[in-house]
Amino acid sequence: NAGVTQTPKFRVLKTGQSMTLLCAQDMNHEYMYWYRQDPGMGLRLIHYSVGEGTTAKGEVPDGYNVSRLKKQNFLLGLESAAPSQTSVYFCASSLRAHRLQYFGPGTRLTVT
Amino acid sequence: AQKVTQAQTEISVVEKEDVTLDCVYETRDTTYYLFWYKQPPSGELVFLIRRNSFDEQNEISGRYSWNFQKSTSSFNFTITASQVVDSAVYFCALSEAGGTSYGKLTFGQGTILTVHP
């Protein structure tokens, strides 16, 4: 039982490049979330999903897109990376709303 | 809108001292959930506690205790007899129970705790 995994763990991008972050969970959770963590600002919600095939915007969605084609996977895409997207990205999942969210180990992204 | 404030950016203590981390929240919902997470230097987020708004009982778990006071909208966290391994960033978070909340967490800014030997 791996819990929540994130791929990759580290990545360096140049401005304008694109990439996809993969989050996978093996707990059959309905809800999945993407957060970003920046110094002094805690974690902020980017996008979330309440089930397979659904996605919704969080607090800071600009510059990101997401997809939830399979229940166990939640993808976060950056179409044209900007230095402001340098951050640590955390994925989380929960069985349903207001249940404990299980977090992945994080992806450290640097955009130069 | 929901908001969580952790006014203490950094706290430094010497081992065996007691330390309290403050958390103040704002919400219009009458039903909500409060959480504390720990982020050690390795970077992962470790769940510590979840408390719903109807349960104002204080919680104690070993050296950790939590004081939830609805009257002051506070959910403070105390570590008794701190240890070097307690050094981490601690986050307080809030989730409203309203229909459109979907369990979204709003985090405070985090408090960096350093425990010196």
Q: What is the pLDDT of residue A86?
A: 97
Read off the DSSP letter of residue A100. P
Query: pLDDT tens, B12-71?
Result: 999 999 999 999 999 999 999 999 999 999 999 999 999 999 988 888 889 999 999 999
Find the CB nearest A106 among B44, B102, B110.
Answer: B44
CB contact under 8 A, B102 and A101: no
The full 3-state SS of chain B, as one line of letters, equals: CCEEECCCCEEEEECCCCEEECCEEECCCCCEEEEEEEECCCCCCEEEEEEECCCCCCEEECCEEEEEEHHHCEEEEEECCCCHHHCEEEEEEEEECCCCCCCCCEECCCEEEEEEC
Query: pLDDT tens, A72-102?
Result: 999 999 999 999 999 999 999 999 877 789 9
Interface of A with B in 10-29 (CB under 8 A): none
CB contact under 8 A, B104 and A33: yes
* Chain A interface mutation, best of B21, B45, B101, B111, highest count of A Cβ atoms under 10 Å: B45
Query: pLDDT tens, A16-59?
Result: 999 999 999 999 999 999 999 998 889 999 999 999 999 999 99
Distance between CA B11 and CA B114 in Å, rounded? Answer: 6
Angle at B109 (CA atoms; ends B106, B113), nearest 5 degrees: 130
Q: What is the pLDDT of residue A11?
A: 97
Distance between CA B30 and CA B75 in Å, rounded? Answer: 15
The full 3-state SS of B10-29, as one line of letters, equals: EEEEECCCCEEECCEEECCC
Query: pLDDT tens, B57-108?
Result: 888 889 999 999 999 999 999 999 999 999 999 999 999 987 777 888 999 9
Nearest CA in chain B to A57: B104
User: Quick check: bond before A39 cis, omega within 30?
Assistant: no
Distance between CA B84 and CA B13 in Å, rounded? Answer: 10
Q: What is the pLDDT of residue A75?
A: 98
What would the two tokens of residue B30 be? 């009458």
CB contact under 8 A, A31 and B45: no
Nearest CA in chain B to A47: B104
